[in-house]
């Protein structure tokens, strides 16, 4: 196992710590039967905890890979500014990695509706936000989109745009680390992989790698149901601005609602797998897909001949804390205990 003792030292200790390939494997945790309604059908469901990457979210992997590939190809020479389109996870990860490659000036296009909390997070990490009004019906290459504006800025000398929506180093990061780990951790016994669709880097990288080793693998893409909100993941309409040809890597699509995503991530968190709304969405994608298979009596079609099980894996992109207030908006209040003596509180929102 890589870096079993989990020690980082010497002058490049932090840079090494930010490298997903120099860290121990991320946990793959099986859900208990209380969270898995199909455990009696010999279906096993595993959460892959991408939120345990050094930067606390899935984007640490593509951020490191995008910057490292540009460094190795010589593209970072003379660069003093990075511009990305991202409202949080990606640009924060890019900023922390880029500083170790000598680039300190980081800017990010953010949508006008960005939450104040997320904006504060960018300022916390020393990132300069550029507020942009996104087109209502974005398509790939729309000049008014933050994605295109960041790309256009990178035409100037000394500026680069990592380009998470079209740079293949994003899915390649998942081939290099995520899929490789899942393959080894499951000993190749994986039958269903389901991930949320944001930039689609996670699903493309894992699908490419895992299907090349096991063509019978079912890849399920989980997207937001129309007009439903889940941070980091897109609706079908919003996926139109993604530059990757993600559809050819996905066998099946599940549409998931906001309330279900938040509730399932709350349930996982209370059980000890502390993950955020888009993890709930990916988990919901697994459950909805299994529900459809069971209704059509198709479990045996997928069941692994050797183990007799159906093994499902879904990645958990980040934790719940950046969205804590949103849980009280989207989850039914009956899920929360009452506050005793609430009238005595001195600080109430
Ligand atoms: C919280 C969160 N969930 C899910 C995703 C989706 O992952 P991907 O961009 O690889 O499709 C992202 C990506 O930004 C994210 O930040």
Q: Annotate 270-279 with b (16+ C-beta within 10 A) or e (fewer).
A: eeebbbbbbb
Beta-sheet strands, E only, within the chain? 28-30, 43-49, 81-85, 105-111, 128-132, 159-160, 192-196, 218-224, 252-256, 310-316
Q: Are residues 302 and 241 in the same domain?
A: yes
Least confident of 84-98, 270-284, 330-344: 84-98
pLDDT score, position 317: 97
Q: Are residues 44 and 101 in the same domain?
A: no
Q: Are residues 42 and 108 in the same domain?
A: no
Pocket test for ligand 1, best of 86, 90, 196 (most atoms within 8 A of CB): 196
pLDDT score, position 306: 79
Q: Please check whether residue 137 is in contact with residue 28, taking contact to mean a CB–CB distance below 8 angstroms.
A: no
- The string of DSSP codes covering 72-94 is HTTTTTT--EEEEE-SSHHHHHH
Residue 167 pLDDT > 90: yes
Residue 349 pLDDT > 80: no
pLDDT score, position 139: 83
Question: Does residue 143 sit within a domain?
Answer: yes
Which H or E element spans position 210?
helix 201-213
Which atom of ligand 1 is closest in space to residue 276's alpha carbon? 1
Q: Please check whether residue 126 is in contact with residue 107, taking contact to mean a CB–CB distance below 8 angstroms.
A: no
Name the burial class of residue 26, with classes exposed (0-12), middle (13-18) and buried (19+) by CB atoms within 10 angstroms of its CB.
buried
Residue 256 pLDDT > 60: yes
Last residue of a domain, one of 116, 138, 160: 160
Question: Does residue 104 sit within a domain?
Answer: yes
pLDDT score, position 116: 85
pLDDT score, position 47: 99
Q: Using DSSP, state whether 190 is helix, strand or coil.
A: coil
pLDDT score, position 245: 96
Which atom of ligand 1 is closest in space to residue 174's alpha carbon? 10
Q: Are residues 20 and 88 in the same domain?
A: no
Residue 13 pLDDT > 80: yes
pLDDT score, position 192: 98
pLDDT score, position 118: 85
CATH number of the domain to which 134 belongs:
3.40.50.1100
Q: Are residues 153 and 181 in the same domain?
A: no
Q: Are residues 268 and 304 in the same domain?
A: yes
Residues with CB under 6 A from ligand 1: 58-59, 89-90, 196-202, 231-233, 278, 317-318
pLDDT score, position 46: 98
The order of strands in the sheet holding 28-30 is 28-30, 43-49, 310-316, 192-196, 218-224, 252-256
End-to-end CA distance of the chain: 47
Q: What range does the domain containing 121 cover?
A: 60-160
pLDDT score, position 328: 96
Could you read off the pLDDT of 184-237 as tens digits, one per residue? Answer: 999 999 999 999 999 999 999 999 999 999 999 999 999 999 999 999 999 999
Question: Does residue 347 sit within a domain?
Answer: no
Residue 264 pLDDT > 80: yes
pLDDT score, position 80: 96
What spacing in Å lies between the alpha carbon of 269 and ligand 1's midpoint? Answer: 19
Residue whose CA is at the smallest distance from ligand 1 atom 2: 232
Backbone CA torsion sign across 252, 257, 262, 266: negative
> Is the pTM of the predicted complex or chain greater than 0.85?
yes
Pocket test for ligand 1, best of 173, 230, 317, 319 (most atoms within 8 A of CB): 317
Could you read off the pLDDT of 74-114 as tens digits, one per residue? Answer: 999 999 999 999 878 999 999 999 999 999 999 999 999 88
Q: What percentage of the chain reaches a pLDDT higher than 90? A: 89
Q: Are residues 44 and 189 in the same domain?
A: yes
Under the banding of pLDDT at 50, 70 and 90, the label for residue 314 is very high
Q: Are residues 49 and 187 in the same domain?
A: yes
What spacing in Å lies between the alpha carbon of 173 and ligand 1's midpoint? Answer: 13
Q: Are residues 94 and 156 in the same domain?
A: yes
Average pLDDT over residues 13-21: 96
Backbone CA torsion sign across 85, 219, 326, 113: positive
Number of compact structural domains in the chain:
2
Last residue of a domain, one of 125, 160, 195: 160
Q: Are residues 244 and 270 in the same domain?
A: yes
pLDDT score, position 1: 55
Under the banding of pLDDT at 50, 70 and 90, the label for residue 115 is confident
Residue whose CA is at the smallest distance from ligand 1 atom 7: 198
Q: Are residues 37 and 183 in the same domain?
A: yes
Residue whose CA is at the smallest distance from ligand 1 atom 12: 232
Q: Are residues 226 and 124 in the same domain?
A: no
């Amino acid at each position: 196992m890589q870096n079993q003792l989990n020690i980082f030292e010497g002058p490049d200790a932090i840079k090494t710590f930010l490298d997903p390939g120099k860290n121990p494997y991320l946990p793959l945790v099986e859900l208990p039967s209380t969270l898995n309604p199909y455990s009696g059908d010999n279906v096993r469901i595993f959460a892959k905890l991408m939120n345990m990457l050094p930067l606390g979210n899935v984007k640490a992997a593509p951020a490191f890979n995008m910057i490292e590939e540009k460094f190795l190809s010589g593209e970072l020479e003379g660069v003093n500014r990075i511009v990305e389109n991202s409202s949080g996870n990606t640009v924060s990860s890019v900023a922390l990695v880029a500083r170790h490659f000598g680039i300190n000036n980081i800017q990010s296009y953010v949508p006008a509706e960005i939450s104040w909390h997320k904006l504060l997070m960018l300022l916390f990490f020393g990132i300069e936000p550029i507020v942009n009004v996104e087109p209502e019906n974005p398509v790939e290459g729309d000049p008014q989109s933050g994605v295109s504006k960041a790309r256009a800025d990178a035409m100037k000398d000394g500026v680069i745009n990592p380009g998470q929506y079209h740079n293949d180093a994003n899915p390649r990061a998942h081939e290099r680390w995520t899929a490789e780990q899942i393959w080894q951790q499951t000993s190749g016994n994986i039958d269903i992989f389901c991930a949320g669709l944001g930039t689609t880097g996670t699903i493309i990288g894992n699908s490419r790698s895992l299907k090349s080793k096991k063509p019978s693998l079912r890849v399920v893409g989980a997207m937001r149901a129309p007009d439903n909100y889940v941070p980091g993941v897109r609706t079908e309409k919003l996926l139109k601005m993604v530059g990757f040809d993600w559809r050819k890597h996905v066998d099946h699509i599940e549409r998931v609602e906001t309330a279900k995503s938040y509730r399932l991530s709350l349930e996982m968190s209370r059980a000890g797998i502390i993950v955020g709304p888009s993890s709930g969405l990916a988990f919901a994608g697994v459950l909805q897909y299994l529900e459809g298979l069971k209704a059509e009596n198709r479990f045996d079609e997928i069941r692994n001949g050797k183990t007799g099980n159906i093994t499902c894996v879904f990645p958990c992109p980040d934790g719940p804390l950046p969205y804590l207030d949103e849980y009280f908006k989207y989850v039914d209040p009956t899920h929360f205990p009452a506050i005793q003596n609430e009238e005595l509180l001195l600080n109430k929102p």
